[in-house]
Amino acid sequence: MKKINLWPRFIASILALCLCSVAASDSAVVVNPIEATKAEYPGEQWTVVHPESLNLEQSKIDRLFDLSFQDSATEAVVLIKNGFLVGERYADGYDQSSYGTSWSMAKSFYASLIGISIDRGEIASLDDKVSQYLDYFNDERADITLRQLLNMTSGLEMPSHEHENMFFTADHLAYAKTVGVEKEAGQTFEYNNVNSMLLSDILQRVTGVPADELLRDRVLNKIGLTNVTLWRDSAGNPLTYCCIDTTARDYSRFGLLFSRGGKWNDEQVISERYVNETFTKVWGNLSGSTIEQERGYSLHWWISRHDEKAIIFNASGKFGQYIFVDRANDVIFTRITKYHSTGGSVQDWGPLAYINWIGSVNFRSKLAAILDSLGLMTIQGNVQTPLTFEDGTSKEFNTNYNEIMDALVDISAKD
């Protein structure tokens, strides 16, 4: 009988498993590349495949990740293709179970509930006036529509501190209720947190249920995003303009929901019509002080690329947190920054309450970190709130944003 040398096959099998393990972790499921032939949805864990099984080049993914980690603030990046996890990378001291905080990425999450309320008939239309749902909009704000809130064109007052002060109050909703009109609605794009905080009250009034409970029931539980913290202010109001804590992998579930037109497995969680309207450019040519690229905006989502090569929308957070969605190629790219959770889910400023009236958000964060390092106060254990310190504040990711978008587009490019 001819003797067969099995070592080459054995070594090839081991190498294949090792290649998959670049993207995988002990808790992930690794499948044979030949099984990765259809778009899927993750169960409790993401299914991990090697990029080549989906006609992706590892070198292109490496370039995207390398560019992302040129910024030391990066905690994690995750790349999803066709519902499969094809790559992830973590900073030292972090892994797939490490939380990040969303900051304004939460706006995109809570805006989805407006679409669901329209689907259910609780809200008639995006063009309804807010005054139909909030009785205190019976003044100069009476003609502002829901669409204008979501497109950041309400015309509500926009002071020099850009309503950062709201974050440091005990009752964020009470603050938002008092903000008056500064401009004609529908004419000017101004990224105003008050627009988003008002969603908390609108959703409560049309459903009788707090917005964070709605988000869990109507979206997060349906897509398996159960390992999550949804923050409220000290008065018990859900923070609908910020502050969802979860992992990079789990943020990616929300991106996949929108990539799939609001469908998860066999359930239409959000109507495809609403998702399509969300992913339609309303505002373009928007420039900012941190990102050196013109962007666009629509219904609480940013537009990072909209040309003949790619259309990419993203949920975006203040300090460089992103969920990028390329629907045409069913690609999700999530990047979060370093986060040191204080625990809890209800804001309690503790000793920081004494400095909450001083300076900007960035200044207060730096001051809190200095006081903590000097032992003059302890943040961990004495304060409960999302906080991003200097180590989680983006620099290079913002300045390299255009190059990073090019690298993301190149992932799906056919050579």
Cα separation, 408 vs 358, whole angstroms: 40
pLDDT at site 21: 36
- pLDDT at 13 (0 to 100): 37
Closest to 313 in 3D by CA, of 327, 321, 328, 303: 303
Inter-axis angle of helices 193-207 and 105-119, nearest 10:
30
- d(CA 334, CA 148) in angstroms, rounded, equals 27
The pLDDT of residue 290: 58
Total residues belonging to the chain: 415
* 332, burial (CB in 10 Å: exposed 0-12, middle 13-18, buried 19+): buried
Q: Quick one: which H or E segment has residue 298?
A: strand 295-298
Burial of 161 (0-12, 13-18, 19+ CB in 10 A): exposed
CB 325 within 8 A of CB 314: yes
383 near 350, Cβ under 8 Å?
yes
What is the structure's pLDDT at 19?
Answer: 35
Q: Distance of CA 227 to CAs 194, 221, 251, 326, 360, Å? A: 27, 10, 10, 25, 31
Task: List average pLDDT for each run of 10 residues in the chain, which is 415 residues long.
Answer: 37 35 48 62 96 96 98 98 98 98 98 98 98 98 98 94 90 98 93 97 98 98 98 98 98 98 98 97 70 78 93 96 98 98 93 75 74 75 89 95 97 88
pTM beyond 0.85, yes or no? yes
Nearest to 310 by CA among 415, 409, 411: 409
CATH number at 99-342+389-411: 3.40.710.10
186 φψ region: left (φ > 0), alpha (ψ -120 to 50), beta (else): left
Q: What is the pLDDT of residue 369?
A: 76
Domain positions in the chain are 99-342+389-411
